[in-house]
Every structure is written in C-alpha cells, then in structure tokens.
Amino acid sequence: MPLLPIALACWLYFGNLQTSSFLAINHATQQFPDLLWAGLTFLGNGWGIFAVAFPLLLLAPRLLSAGILAGMISAIASSTLKPLFDLPRPAGALTDGSFYRIGDALLYKAFPSGHTLTAFAIATALYFSLDKNKRSSLLPVFIIASLVGLSRIAVGAHWLTDVLAGAGVGLWCGLLGASIAQVIPGNQLLPNKIGPRIVALGGIAAIYVLLTQNLDLDLNQIFQYLGAAVIAITLAFFIKA
C-alpha cells in the first residue's frame, strides 16, 4: 500500500503534471471556507494531533503510545527527506497570484508534505494497534488523514506529489510505530507508571505551546485553544486516576 501513492507521485512528477494537478485542486478547494482547511492543517501539526489524541492516555494508552512513536518516527523521516530533496514549493516556483494561498509564502523543502506524513503515520499506527476484528471502526481516520493532505494543497503549501509521497512514507512510519508499541507490557501503560506520567508532562508542554505559539496559520488559534482545553481536562482525570 505505501508504494501506491509514491508511485502515483512519481508518475505526476515525471509526467509533467505536477503544476496542473496542483492548480486544479487548489482552485477547486476555494469553494470551502478557509477555516475548514486551517483546521485540517492543524490536525497534521504534531502538537495539534497530539492534543486531539490526548484523551487516549486514559481511554486507550497503547493506541496513544503507538501514535506517539509513529509521530516521532515521522518527524525523523520528514526532517531527513525534506533537506535531501530540497524541492521548491508552489510559492517558490509559480507566479505570485496564480494560485490561492493562506498564510505565509513557503518556498522550499516541499517534498514530502510533513503534515500529510504525520497524519498518515498516526492514523496507520492507531489502526494497526487495534485487534483485527475492531479495525474497521477506525477506517475514517484515513479519510481525515487524506483531508489533511488535501488541506496542504488548499492553503497553497504543497504540490499533490508532496502529499502523495507524505501519505506513502507516513504509512510506513505508522506500521513501524504500531509494531514497536505492541511490545510494551500492558502493566506499564497504567496511570501510575513512568511512561504515562512522562506523556502527561508532555501534555503540559503542549498546553504551553498551544497557548503561546502560532502554529502554521493565524486561523488556527481557535483550534489551538480547544486543543489546550482537551489536554487540560484529560490531565485532570489522569491525576484523579
């Protein structure tokens, strides 16, 4: 499965369809409000998706562990591949005003899309951390991950080829994260163990980041405040547990 989106990305790139595919999607997505694409982009930011998934600390700690591991692996993959290819983004290759853009103009390190990579990595990790007979309930997470990738084109930050490559690499990262999480003993995932407590401290750090920094887009502020609230409420129940 990871090879399919990467193969399609190569076909678009070497078939000289990168620009036309980007412009078609970028123009079509203007029919929807900017806030929608900002919110979806927020779900591809590491801090954003951590906040949304944070209640799993109590509800399904193994799934959260798999997601965190996949997120860490995806961060390494993204920071390695982006400088390696160092390809221009739409704003660095197209005339200003020829496409719709939300936020600052990003010029370089396009390939792959880090937001898409992160979203697919965590979606895959969550999916494969469940028993086979329960996985169908998590299929919608891949739809959300796909929409995160679409949002990166909608805001003018990435080509379709970047998004497809991010999805493919993200699938691999998610599978690896899920595999590592499976070897964690169940008794080490209880609230009184060191691992969950470290994650809880990470939640405090996330609240600080969400309340003090501007992640990706100005429109994300409302989502950052909501994410901080989700973490704070979860921490209250975690302390009680």
pLDDT at 82: 93
Q: What would the pLDDT profile of 142-194 be if each residue is shown by its tens digit?
A: 999 999 999 999 999 999 999 999 999 999 999 999 999 999 998 898 989 99
Q: What is the pTM of this model?
A: 0.93
Angstrom distance (rounded) from CA 105 to CA 7: 28
pLDDT at 106 (0 to 100): 85
Residues 6+ apart with CB under 8 A from 15: none
pLDDT in tens, 47-57: 999 999 999 99
Q: What pLDDT was estimated at residue 105?
A: 84
pLDDT of res. 96: 83
pLDDT category of residue 1 using cuts at 50, 70 and 90: confident
Helix or strand holding residue 7 (H, E) = helix 3-14
Distance CA 188, CA 185 (A): 6
C-alpha angle 214-54-41 in degrees, rounded to nearest 5: 40
- Which range has the worst mean pLDDT, 2-6, 9-13, 28-32, 105-109? 105-109
Between CA 119 and CA 105 the distance in angstroms is: 22
CA distances from 205 to 134, 156, 219 (A): 32, 30, 22
Instruction: Report the pLDDT value the prediction gives residue 186, as an integer from 0 to 100.
Output: 86
Digit-coded pLDDT (tens) for 89-147: 999 989 888 999 998 888 899 999 999 999 999 999 999 999 888 898 899 999 999 99
Across the range 53-69, mean pLDDT stands at 95
pLDDT digits (tens, 9 = 90+) for 192-218: 999 999 999 999 999 999 999 999 888
What is the C-alpha separation between 24 and 99, in angstroms, rounded? 10
